[in-house]
Amino acid sequence: MPDANAITAAIKAHCDTLSDHDQEGWLALWADDTVLEDPVGVDTYTGIDTLRTEFWKLVTDLSPMKLWLERDIIVCGNEAIAILQGVVTREGAMQHVGPLVDHFTFDDSGKISKMRAFWKYA
Per-residue pLDDT of the chain (122 residues; tens, 9 = 90+): 899 999 999 999 999 999 999 999 999 999 999 999 999 998 999 999 999 999 999 999 998 999 999 999 999 999 999 999 999 988 888 888 889 999 999 999 999 999 999 987 65
> Dmax of the chain from CA atoms?
42
Please name each of the domains of the chain with its CATH number. Answer: 4-118 (3.10.450.50)
Cis before 99? omega within 30 = yes
The Cα–Cα gap between 14 and 10 comes to: 6
With a threshold of 0.75, does the pTM exceed it?
Answer: yes
Amino acid at the residue 6: A
| Residue 22 backbone dihedrals phi, psi, to 5 degrees | -100, 85
Distance CA 80, CA 106 (A): 9
